[in-house]
C-alpha cells in the first residue's frame, strides 16, 4: 500500500525596508509679457510677468532670476504662492536684449524661458521755435489788428518770434517785439 502524504509548502515573504526613488523634475517657467520681439523706447517702463510651478515644491520657495544679456541680472523677487512672477523697470539700455527667467528648485533643477525685446531711441523732439499757426482769440482788452496781437488776454497758435516762447500750455510772453499772428 502506498501512502501519500501532502506536505504543505510555506512561502515566506521577506518584509523590510523598501527604497522608492522619487524623480525630481525641473520647474515649469512661462513668460507671459512682454511679447517676444516687443519694442520699447529708451526710458519707458517695461512690465514683465510670468508663471512658474514645480511639482515637488511651492513656487514661492524657488530661486528666481530675471536676466538680460546686455544689462545682467534684472530682478530676483520670489514668486507668489500661486506662481506669479512680476516686476517692472525703466533701466534697460539700448539694444536687442535676450531676456531669460530662471527658476531653480532645492535639488538644483533649472526651468527657464526666454524672449527678445528691443530698446530703441526715442523719436526726436520737434523744435518748439518752429512756426505755430491757427486762429487767435482775444478777450478783456486784447486784440488782433493787422496780424499783430496786443494785450495779455489772447490765446491760440501764433508764429513764435523773439520775445515769446511756446509751451504745452500756451505762449509765455516776455518783453520784446510783438508776436505776429498768422493769417
Is there a single domain that holds both residue 106 and residue 172? Answer: no
Instruction: Tally Cβ neighbours within 10 Å of residue 1.
Output: 2
Of residues 127 and 53, more confidence is placed in: 53
Q: Are residues 35 and 86 in the same domain?
A: yes
**For residue 74, pLDDT beyond 80:** yes
The answer on 139 and 98 residing in a single domain is no
Q: Which residues contact 177 (CB under 8 A, 6 or more apart)?
A: 161, 162, 163
Buried residues in 23-53 as b, exposed as e (16+ CB within 10 A): eeebbebebeebeeeeebeeeeebebebbbb
Whether 48 is in a domain gets the answer yes
DSSP SS3 for 170: strand
Per-residue confidence (pLDDT) for residue 182, from 0 to 100: 47
115-157 pLDDT, tens digit each: 999 999 998 876 544 444 455 554 545 555 555 555 554 555 5
Is residue 35 located within the same domain as residue 110?
yes
Mean pLDDT computed over 35-45: 96
Q: Are residues 105 and 154 in the same domain?
A: no
- Domain with 142 in it: 125-183
The position carrying cell 512658474 is: 52
Mean pLDDT, rounded, for 14-22: 73
What percentage of residues in the chain have a pLDDT greater than 90?
54
- pLDDT at residue 31 tops 80: yes
Q: Are 108 and 25 in contact (CB under 8 A)?
A: no
Q: Is the pTM higher than 0.75? A: no
Our count of domains for the chain comes to 2
152-166 pLDDT tens trace: 545 555 444 444 444
DSSP 8-state class, residue 79: P
Amino acid at each position: 500500500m502506498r501512502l501519500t502524504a501532502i506536505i504543505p509548502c510555506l512561502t515566506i515573504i521577506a518584509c523590510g525596508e523598501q527604497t522608492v526613488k522619487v524623480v525630481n523634475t525641473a520647474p515649469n517657467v512661462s513668460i507671459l509679457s512682454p511679447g517676444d520681439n516687443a519694442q520699447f523706447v529708451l526710458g519707458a517702463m517695461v512690465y514683465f510677468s510670468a508663471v512658474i510651478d514645480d511639482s515637488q515644491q511651492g513656487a514661492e520657495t524657488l530661486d528666481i532670476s530675471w536676466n538680460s544679456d546686455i544689462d545682467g541680472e534684472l530682478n530676483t523677487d520670489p514668486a507668489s504662492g500661486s506662481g506669479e512672477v512680476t516686476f517692472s523697470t525703466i533701466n534697460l539700455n539700448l539694444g536687442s536684449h535676450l531676456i531669460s527667467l530662471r527658476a531653480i528648485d532645492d535639488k538644483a533643477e533649472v526651468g527657464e524661458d526666454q524672449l527678445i525685446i528691443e530698446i530703441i531711441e526715442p523719436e526726436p523732439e520737434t523744435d518748439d521755435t518752429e512756426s505755430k499757426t491757427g486762429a487767435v482769440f482775444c478777450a478783456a482788452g486784447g486784440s488782433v489788428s493787422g496780424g499783430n496781437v496786443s494785450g495779455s488776454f489772447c490765446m491760440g497758435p501764433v508764429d513764435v518770434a523773439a520775445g515769446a516762447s511756446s509751451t504745452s500750455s500756451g505762449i509765455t510772453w516776455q518783453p520784446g517785439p510783438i508776436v505776429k499772428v498768422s493769417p
